[in-house]
Every structure is written in structure tokens, then in C-alpha cells.
Amino acid sequence: MSGRLETADLLTADVREAAARWLGSRDDDALARIAWAVLVEPGDGVAGGAIGQLGARDALDLVASPGGAGTTVAQAVERWRTRWDPRLLLSAIAAADRKDMRLVTPSSAEWPRPLDDLGPHAPVALWVRGDPALLPSSPSVGVVGARAVTPYGEHATADIVNELAETGIAIVSGAAYGVDGIAHRAALRVGGTTVAFLAGGADRVYPAGHANLLAQIAETGAVAAECAPGTTPTRWRFLARNRLIAALSDATLIVEAGARSGSINTAGHAAALGRPLGAVPGPITSSTSAGCHRVLREYDATCITGAADVREMLGDVVAGRAREFESTEAVRVADALTRRRARSVEEIAQRSGMAVDDVVAALGILLLEGRAAERADGWVSAV
């Protein structure tokens, strides 16, 4: 397409109507993010920077009129020009509607805030099959590894993931053959939560042999993609997808990986983000463990021999995140409790300086978190 771009030529009346029907509202930010998801490749920092500064809708106007915006934006516009086509937006919206997808944006309650750590390289939106509310699950562990997994790798993956998922830890992976698929199945087998990030559109079943697995994940977990529906998985998009697994997860585990495995790329993202990183050691004669040994040596990863090691690796980051989002009321009530002497609700209210109803609500939260226990003579701390 040559000549001047116009935002109105992209966000046509047909596009607006189709988006409104699918979204159930006329949300300009969501509409603009649909357009951006079609226009850009994953992790496009120029687009991310413009959206971060101006907002998704105004950034589109900048693209349409890049004069004075600098050569970087002007060059980026040339990359995006071939996709400045409302038919591509209509196709993506129609596919999302057919597959009963949800659009999750940074303004959505379901948006996983850890992805914001990617800065301008964060996804502009996520297209989700399943339950978007499971995306920000914490604690969570990204589990990745070799496609050509050995029996040793199969056993290690299933054993570790079974125990983690049984204890409420969400499993994040990429739905590939090998370690990814084993991790997803192990979580599903024990009724755990699992999230799959795809390298193409969330409507594209890839690999084809995992059609049933992806359907199962969508039923009880979430299948997510940053690429618009209809997008074909490519090698670059697989590599870009790895940053989402690393960013969403509280920690990342490499089970088996060759020396040049894509899992090393995931490990690099986790290390760059400051996320805890672990690797399962294998025989020094096994090429499928060479990548794990490299991660242990070069990335200062934790040596993982079982689920207990993963939970220990998770401990500090999960506790820190819980404290970050802990309510003031819960802190005050927890401070008023002791392990040895039970206290009544009224006594806790007096010590915390809170109303009785607020104390009761906070105690309910602490009880669910396992931090308080009720006895016949009152409440005690459980930690």
C-alpha cells in the first residue's frame, strides 16, 4: 500500500461494529489494541514505546501521520504498512468470535501485571481461549524443555509437576511436544491450573497432534497468544513467545534441553527479568541435558532434584509478592495475633484499632491463606 495512511481507513465502520459485537462494548483502547496486534510482530519495541507514551489509540494516529515523529517511527511505519488493511482486523475479530475468545488488555482486571516487566516489549493485548482470570495465577512455574524428551525427562517432568500442581502452583508452558506437553498433562491429571502460550494465533492448533490437549487446557485453564487469530507460528514467534512464559511465571524450570535449545532462550529471558531459574541435571553423556548443565553453569540456576527444590526457589518471590499486595487490614489483624494465646474478635479489634466487622473480614482472608486458625477459645496465628 502506498501513499498516506489514515486511521479511518483502518478503523472503518465495519471494523468498529464487528469489534463492538464481539467485545460487547465500544472500547476505543481495545479496538486500537486489536489493530496493533494485527500490525506488529511480537515484542515490537517501537510500537510498545509509542503506546506507552501516548496510549494505543493516539499512537495509531501517530503512525498514520508520522511526520516529525523521527526516523525510527517512520521506518517502523514501513514495516507495518502492508498490514494497514481493515480486512485483516475483520478476519481476526471473526476468528476470535467463532472460537469464543476474550481480549485481555492492560486495562482488564485479568491482565497479568508481571508482563509489564517487559516494558515496551510487553504484548499489546492477549487473545485468550478459556478463563482469562487464570492468567495472573500466583504462585506459578514456567516448565519448558526438549521436544525430543528422554524417558528420564518424561519421568522428571511428570513427577515434579504433579506435586507442584497438587499444591496449587500453576504450570505455564508452550504446548509443544516433549517437556511442554508432559507438563500440561501432568497438571491436568491432578486437577491443577495450567496456561499455554502459543507462538501463533490462539485459534491455530499447533502442533496438530496437541489438538485434544489444547482443548483440555482451554476447558479448565487458559490458552493465550499475543498474535492475532489466524497468525501462523514461525521460528521468530516461538522465540518471542518464550519471553511471555518467563515473564508470567514466578520462576522458570528447564527439565531437559539441548545445548542450542529454545529453552535456553527462555532461561535468558527469566534471568534478564530477575526471575528465579532452575534446571534439572542429567547424565553428562546425555546431549538432551547439555542445555540444563549450561544453564546451571552460565546462568547461576538452581539445581532442581524435586518439587521441594522448586518450592524453595519460589519461596522468597511469592512471599514478597503476597506482601506487596497484602491489605493493610490483614497486616493489622495478623499483628494482633499470637501463636500461643487465643484472642477473641473483640480483643483483636481493640488491639488493631479496627471495627469488629472489618476484623471478621480480615480473619476470613487470613484463614484461607493458612495464616490464622480458629480455636474454641478464639483466634491464633498459624505462622
- Rounded to 10 deg, the angle between the 328-335 and 345-352 helix axes is 110
253 contacts 157 by C-beta, under 8 angstroms: no
CA angle 277, 283, 285 (to 5 degrees): 120
Q: What pLDDT was estimated at residue 119?
A: 94
The CATH architecture assigned to 326-381 reads Orthogonal Bundle (1.10)
User: Alpha-carbon distance 172 to 175, whole Å?
Assistant: 9
One fold for both 130-321 and 326-381?
Answer: no
Q: What pLDDT was estimated at residue 365?
A: 84
Domain 130-321: state its class.
Answer: alpha beta
User: Alpha-carbon distance 45 to 133, whole Å?
Assistant: 27
- Rounded to 10 deg, the angle between the 151-166 and 179-189 helix axes is 40
User: Alpha-carbon distance 54 to 62, whole Å?
Assistant: 9
Instruction: Tell me the three cell numbers of residue 269.
Output: 529471558
Report which DSSP code applies to 228: P
Task: Report how far apart, in Å, the C-alpha atoms of 29 and of each of 19, 56, 95, 105, 164 are.
Answer: 11, 6, 20, 9, 37
Q: What pLDDT was estimated at residue 17?
A: 97
153 contacts 288 by C-beta, under 8 angstroms: yes
Contacts of 122 (CB under 8 A, 6+ apart): 48, 106, 115, 116, 247
Give residue for cell 467463532. 98
Q: What pLDDT was estimated at residue 278?
A: 97
Domain boundaries, the chain: 7-96, 130-321, 326-381
Q: Is pTM, for the whole model, over 0.85?
A: no
User: Alpha-carbon distance 112 to 222, whole Å?
Assistant: 13
247 contacts 117 by C-beta, under 8 angstroms: yes
Count how many Cα atoms sit within 13 Å of the Cα of residue 359 in the half-sphere of its side chain: 20
Contacts of 254 (CB under 8 A, 6+ apart): 144, 145, 263, 264, 266, 267, 277, 278, 279, 280, 291, 292, 295, 301
pLDDT along the chain (383 residues), means of 10: 73 96 95 96 93 92 69 82 93 96 95 94 97 90 96 97 93 97 97 96 94 96 97 93 96 94 93 94 94 94 95 72 63 85 92 90 85 90 81
Instruction: Tell me the three cell numbers of residue 85.
Output: 488493511
Count how many Cα atoms sit within 13 Å of the Cα of residue 265 in the half-sphere of its side chain: 15
Q: What pLDDT was estimated at residue 1?
A: 40
